[in-house]
Structure formats: C-alpha cells, structure tokens
C-alpha cells in the first residue's frame, strides 16, 4: 500500500508534501466551517467546536500502549533489517505455527504413505488452525483426488501442496483490489469494524508509517461515542506527529468527518485517516450511520473515501467472515487489516478471509507496539508461517 502510495505522492510538488505542524487559529477554523456545502448541511448536526488537537490529553496513558522501539528493527543495514523483520514476523506467528505447522510436521513424521487416517487427522489440524470448513474441504479435496489417482503419496509433498494452495488463496485476494488514488488531494482512508478489533491502534500505526515516509497525515476522530475514544486517537496523533480533528463526545460523527475532510483538503494533506466507532455488523442503525459518513466524505471530496478499510480481529475466528460480509454489503470494503495475529493459534483465518472474501489484506497486526503493523505480503507471510523453527 505504501510503496504504491509513494509512487503517486512522489509526483507531487515538494512543497505540497511538507507536513503541516502549526496549530490553526479559531478564525481559520471558522472560515472553514463557513464554507460548509449547503447541500448537505441538513444531514449534519451543526458543528460548533471542532478542534485541531496538538496539546497533551489527560488520562491518555492508560488508553494506549506506551511507545516502544523494537530493538530488532533499529541499528541495522537494509538486509539485516529485512532479516530481523522477517524473524520478528516468524516469532509473532509462533502460536499459529505451533498449532498448525508443527502439528502437521508431527503428523507426517515417519509416515511414508498418505492414508485415510492421516487425511482425517490433517483435516482436524486445519479446522483447529481456523482455516474454516470450506477452505479446509477445498484443500483436502484436491489432496484426496491426487492420492486416489496415485499422483501423490509422500506426506512431505502434501505439505508443499498445501503451502502453495494457501499462498494461492492469499495471492488471489491480494491481486483483486488495486487502490484507486486521487488525481489530486488527500488519500482518504475510512476505517470500520466491530468493537475492540484494533481500529484506533491500527490507525495510529498506519499514520506512523505514512509519517515516517514523509507524508502529512490528518486523523479524524469519527468515534464520538466515548470521550476515551477521542483521547486515544489524540495520543496517537501526538505520538506520530499528526494533527487530530475532533469534536466533543456525542457530536454527529458525520459532522466531524465533514470538517475533517474540509480541513484536510484545504491544508493539502497527503493522507486523511478517519476513525469510526466500533459497531456490531448486526446493528442496523449504526451500519446506516456508516453509510451516511461515507456519503458525506464523497460529497466533500469526489471519489473519496479511496479506501474503506475493515479491521478484523484474527482471534474472533470465523465470525470475522460474517462481519466482513455485512460491512462489505453496507459500505463496500476495499481492504482489510487483520490484527492480533501474535495472540492467536488460529492465524489460519487469513486463508479463509482471502478465499471467502477476495478482498486484499493490506496490513497485519502482530503486536501492540507502534511498529507492530506490517504491510501484508502473501509470499513473506506464508514463508514466515511455514518456516522451520530452530529448536
């Protein structure tokens, strides 16, 4: 995502990508508000107190994990960096490796032939790793057919076939949704998902990535339901040096988003990332509210949001698929961030997500720290998952 983004922003005038760091006067804010498009004012509760946050927020520390720099990611050359990043990914996928790959290795160890019992045991391992019923069946059907035709008898070859098939699911999804970047103006990402999946944290981490690539990032606090949610985004803003557009608790999220887009466009930001409140995919009214937010963004900036990012918690298992389907029906998901892969033995969910939804995974979350979000790369992921661990 970032590499592709760099190409686009690289064409911009240097001046345009300089990060805005000054705090804006209330007069400037007022003039932005005065320009509110009359077509949509009745949709939006009048905003009277939008603020661009730079100051320290109180009681924020408990809302986010303290900043940390992972020693494996600093002080090394590019190749060393790559190696250590791969090593870290491998480590963080350890639980899934244990429950999936190590168990499969133990099952295959010493077996010369693939028999029915082995295939049944393999089926159980695939289920346990959360690859899902349909994905498991598809993986096993092709293996069974090959065994039947006597084209496959060696369990080691079966492991390679499984690896390639899983990679195939991930690559198919990866190739299914190129980002559509705006010709000019900010790249707008709207982030959605159910409660507690890691939306705000991922927004902070994504902002950090863009910031360290020299891009100006504006964060918009579209979760107005809880004061804590706004504070959490503010502290991420402070940490990554991004400004935050927010209003008071209880404000209409569409109103905040309207102001945010207006401000971001006027200030020529490179990226605007919009946080939204967590909502169950089954809560019809709240899902409708997302549609409204999306509409408001589109009215304020044609073609935006350019990315509707669904955040899924990999520990929620197959329910993530139902969440994705309903969010997709409502707002049209264009990319997925799959979080908490470090905390689960069921990381096989990623294969099912890709196979069922055919929506590209853009990022994966592998921890709570600022640099624990990785741009997703199918091949690297599969290699790290299958990679033999040293004893």
Ligand X SMILES: Nc1nc2c(ncn2[C@@H]2O[C@H](COP(=O)(O)OP(=O)(O)OP(=O)(O)O)[C@@H](O)[C@H]2O)c(=O)[nH]1
Strand partners, 374: 364
For residues 267 and 17, what is the distance between their CA atoms, to the nearest angstrom? 10
List Cβ neighbours of 215 (8 Å cut-off, separation of 6 or more).
5, 9, 17, 19, 270, 271
* Binding flag, residue 339, Mg ion (CB under 5 A): no
For residues 330 and 324, what is the distance between their CA atoms, to the nearest angstrom? 10
Query: Which listed residue (223, 238, 252, 259) binds ligand X by CB under 6 A?
Result: 223
Query: Which listed residue (5, 287, 365, 382) binds ligand X by CB under 6 A?
Result: 365
Measured from the Cβ of residue 138, the count of other Cβ atoms closer than 10 Å reads 16
CB nearest Mg ion: which residue? Answer: 200
* Binding flag, residue 320, ligand X (CB under 6 A): no
What kind and span of H or E run contains 221? strand 217-222
Per-residue x/- track, 76-115, ligand X (CB under 6 A):
----------------------------------------
In the complex, minimum distance from the CB of residue 281 to ligand X, in angstroms, rounded to a whole number: 12
Length of the chain: 391
Q: Which does 367 bind (CB under 5 to 8 A by kind): ligand X, Mg ion, none?
A: ligand X
Q: Which does 253 bind (CB under 5 to 8 A by kind): ligand X, Mg ion, none?
A: none
Query: Which listed residue (52, 217, 229, 357) binds ligand X by CB under 6 A?
Result: 229
Q: Which does 177 bind (CB under 5 to 8 A by kind): ligand X, Mg ion, none?
A: none
For residues 284 and 352, what is the distance between their CA atoms, to the nearest angstrom? 26
For residues 215 and 275, what is the distance between their CA atoms, to the nearest angstrom? 18
Q: DSSP 3-state assignment of 388? A: coil
Q: Which does 195 bind (CB under 5 to 8 A by kind): Mg ion, ligand X, none?
A: ligand X
* Binding flag, residue 321, ligand X (CB under 6 A): no
Query: Which listed residue (199, 209, 281, 300) binds ligand X by CB under 6 A?
Result: 199
* Binding flag, residue 200, ligand X (CB under 6 A): yes
What would the two tokens of residue 388 be?
A: 């033999």
Through-space distance between the first and last CA atoms of the chain, rounded to whole angstroms: 35
Q: How many residues bind ligand X, per CB under 6 A?
A: 21
Q: Which does 201 bind (CB under 5 to 8 A by kind): Mg ion, ligand X, none?
A: ligand X
DSSP letters spanning 286-317 = HHHHHHHHHHHHHHHSTT--SEEEEEEEGGGT
In the complex, minimum distance from the CB of residue 343 to ligand X, in angstroms, rounded to a whole number: 4
In the complex, minimum distance from the CB of residue 230 to Mg ion, in angstroms, rounded to a whole number: 10
Interacting span for ligand X (CB under 6 A) from 111-119, 141-149, 193-201, 289-297: 193-201
Q: How many residues bind Mg ion, per CB under 5 A?
A: 2
Q: Token match 């409502």: residue?
A: 330
Per-residue x/- track, 190-209, Mg ion (CB under 5 A):
---------xx---------
By beta-carbon proximity to ligand X, the closer residue of 196 and 214 is 196
Query: Which listed residue (105, 172, 368, 380) binds ligand X by CB under 6 A?
Result: 368
By beta-carbon proximity to Mg ion, the closer residue of 197 and 384 is 197
What would the two tokens of residue 305 be?
A: 């949001």
Q: DSSP 3-state assignment of 33? A: helix
- Which value, in Å, is the radius of gyration of the alpha carbons in the chain? 23
What would the two tokens of residue 110 be?
A: 């010493």
* Binding flag, residue 197, ligand X (CB under 6 A): yes
42, 259, 53, 1: CA torsion to nearest 10? 130
Helix axes 133-148, 349-357, angle to 10 degrees: 90
For residues 250 and 277, what is the distance between their CA atoms, to the nearest angstrom? 11
What would the two tokens of residue 52 be?
A: 């661009």
* Binding flag, residue 360, ligand X (CB under 6 A): no
**264-293 binders of ligand X (CB under 6 A):** 278
What would the two tokens of residue 142 be?
A: 């092709």
Query: Which listed residue (155, 185, 186, 193) binds ligand X by CB under 6 A?
Result: 193
Chain positions contacting Mg ion, by CB under 5 A: 199-200
The contact set with ligand X (CB under 6 A) reads 65, 193, 195-201, 223, 229, 278, 339-340, 342-343, 365-368, 372
């Amino acid at each position: 995502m970032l590499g592709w983004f760099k190409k686009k922003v690289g064409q911009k005038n240097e001046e345009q990508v300089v990060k805005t760091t000054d705090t804006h006067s209330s007069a400037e804010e007022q003039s932005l508000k005065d320009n509110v498009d009359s077509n949509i004012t009745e949709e939006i509760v009048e905003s009277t107190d939008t603020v661009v946050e730079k100051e320290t927020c109180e009681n924020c520390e408990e809302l986010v994990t303290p900043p940390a720099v992972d020693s494996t990611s600093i002080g090394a050359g590019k190749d060393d960096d790559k190696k250590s990043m791969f090593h870290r990914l491998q480590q963080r996928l350890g639980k899934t490796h244990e429950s999936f790959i190590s168990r499969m290795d133990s099952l295959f160890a010493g077996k010369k032939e693939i028999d029915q019992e082995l295939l049944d045991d393999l089926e159980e391992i695939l289920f346990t790793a959360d690859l899902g019923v349909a994905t498991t069946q598809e993986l096993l059907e092709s293996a069974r057919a090959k065994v039947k035709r006597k084209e496959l008898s060696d369990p080691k070859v079966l492991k390679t076939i499984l690896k390639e098939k899983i990679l195939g699911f991930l690559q198919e999804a990866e190739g299914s949704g190129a980002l559509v970047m705006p010709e000019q103006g900010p790249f707008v990402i709207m982030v959605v998902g159910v409660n507690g999946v890691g939306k705000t944290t991922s927004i902070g981490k994504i902002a950090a990535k863009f910031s360290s690539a020299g891009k100006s990032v504006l964060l918009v606090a579209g979760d107005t339901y809880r004061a804590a949610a706004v504070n959490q985004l503010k502290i991420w803003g402070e940490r990554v040096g991004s400004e935050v557009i927010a209003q008071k608790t209880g404000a209409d999220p569409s109103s905040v988003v309207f102001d945010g887009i207006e401000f971001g466009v006027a200030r020529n930001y490179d990226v605007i990332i919009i946080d939204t409140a967590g909502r169950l995919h089954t809560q019809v009214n709240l899902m409708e509210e997302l549609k409204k937010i999306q509409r408001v963004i589109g009215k304020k900036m044609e073609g935006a949001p350019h990315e509707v990012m669904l955040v899924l918690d990999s520990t929620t298992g197959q329910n993530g698929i139902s969440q994705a389907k309903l969010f997709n029906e409502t707002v049209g998901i264009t990319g997925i961030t799959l979080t908490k892969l470090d905390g689960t033995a069921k990381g096989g969910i990623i294969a099912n997500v890709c196979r069922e939804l055919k929506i590209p995974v853009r990022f994966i979350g592998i921890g709570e720290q600022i640099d624990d979000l990785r741009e997703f790369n199918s091949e690297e992921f599969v290699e790290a998952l299958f990679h033999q661990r040293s004893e």
